[in-house]
Structure 1
Amino acid sequence: MRTTLGHSELTVRPIGLGCMGMSQSYGDADDNESAATIRTALELGVDFLDTSDVYGASDITFGVPIRGFGHNERLIGGAIAGRRDEIVLATKFAAKINDSENGIAIDGRPEYVRTACEASLRRLGTDVIDLYYYHRLDPSVPIEETVGAMAELVAAGKVRAIGLSEVGPDQLRRAHATHPITALQSEYSLWERHVEEGITSTCRELGITLVPYSPLGRSALTGSVTAGSTFAAGDFRATNPRFLAENLAVNLEPVEQLRAIAAEKGCSPGQLALAWLLAQPLDVVPIPGTKRIPFVRENIAATDVAISADEVALLAGIFAPARVAGERYAPVHARTIR
């Protein structure tokens, strides 16, 4: 089973691999283990890898060691050497590190689009990026200008298809009118469903594939997080509102119901959460992130979980948005998303 990504000739397996955690945001990571995880994922049939030029240069507000701008791209470039043709490779641009702006700056200028692309090509060790995302919107640059520059990269053969991340319906339509948008990457899971407020319907209308990041609720939906869980300073969740003790206790209540239903079906909670996403009425390709081989195996097996329409509706009700406590990002990071 394969999915064609939006307005492109790219096809991928139903579940990809998000690589951000190999470089930042979820505590320490070992490059050798991460590279082995990528290679094993390819052996298991994963053919859609997701990264960004900024992964590894995490700003100080995440509280993690800075491994360097482009670290994740270089890591992937080394891991896939000799196997580039087996992979649909996605990366992003626009997010930069700037201490004068709480560690985050966004650059959507056309000249930066071209500069960023050339740098990503070098780090990834490739001559073409399959799917190039505009990571976050620069409010000072009309989206048409940025997407227009991305379209020039397609015409030049440096990029095969273009995507956006964390935008609303209006921006999506404006961008799509400038050049066909292949994919929209936004947070989407049982416990984060803001995209259902007009974004999923716009994607269906325009033929854009939705690529959910954090499809397992930053591990909360796997059942591995408990009310007593604490997170090290190097873990993004230590300051995330939904993982603060008073909110986490509330947010884990529906997870217990997810766990019970999964047990009856003979699968893990995380697999059932991914199966719920795959059952949505539009093209959806989740990219659960991990830096460890066992979790890659578990995530891929979610495609074998049968889920009925009644179960999809039941889980949607259990995780009704009103039941989820806390914003999905702290204010310093929320300002860069829709």
Structure 2
Amino acid sequence: MRLKQTRIHDVNIFLHALPDGSKFQISLTDVELHHKVLSAIGFSSQLNPGERLLPRPRGPVSLFNSEGRQDPQKDQKMIRCYRDGMIKDWHGRWHHVEIPYKRYPRITVPAPGEELTVDVKDGKTVVVSRTLEYRPNDARQNEAIKHTINLFLELFGECDILSDKLLQIHKFKIERRNWRVLPTGEYPWERAKDILKDITKSLSNAQRRLVDYRFKHISGFNPSKLIIGEAGFDGYVIFCFENLNLYLLESRFTDNATYIFGEDWESLCQLTKAEILDEHLQKYRLVHRGGWPQKIAGLLNLRQKAA
């Protein structure tokens, strides 16, 4: 079954003919017509079987898929919050500050994090979703199916539903294309800033100044490797302190946090975004608030002295 439309609202309209419990995949079968988009969302030009990635956002559905969202609760009273900012003093030097403001409380809706994989069906290269299961009365499952179909429709304008008869099992080695690993060495700010400027080039001057402030602070401790996020991880960077077994995940997104892991980078780069940002995996989560520079310095200096 092929769908060609902007989006769908009710999966049962399209899947009602499938028996309860049917397994299927959402697929892009005419990859030749969509090479430009496939490259834009992160795939290689060769489309090697086994390539898997979180697609780079190209609209509201793929943005939600990658980043999630926060829903304001407008039926509640506004609360005081803080955002990061940079101000210039009388001597022309920039300083980090916290700017108070009020907003409605928000509920975080986690990113679905649906990944796409290059596969081969009947000898033909295709791009597929994970295997889904149709249960007409399972609202949560139907929401996941609807999201995945709408993700394909937003990215490609079409998709096919492959029944379980086409769910061949292939033993391709999965290669996630979400990260680019730079050579081992030292990356002080003078070296790192030219590499990281592409991450911040789309930001406003004020946002870029703030993100550079964080990047510069971490780079001051001379990480041994940088890992740059690509595809749906665009905007993220991992600062590796391999001798300390510490890996700091930062991003260009403001009012966020630094995630600190003890995993080796190979394992970290094979995780999904949901797994990486899971509260149970990181050693520390340092919110971008007052005291953040001191906490980073204390953590790295303490480990360096111990080493």
TM-score between both structures, scaled by the size of structure 2: 0.28
Higher helix proportion, which one?
A: 1
Which protein shows a greater Rg? 2
TM-score between both structures, scaled by the size of structure 1: 0.27
Higher strand proportion, which one?
A: 2
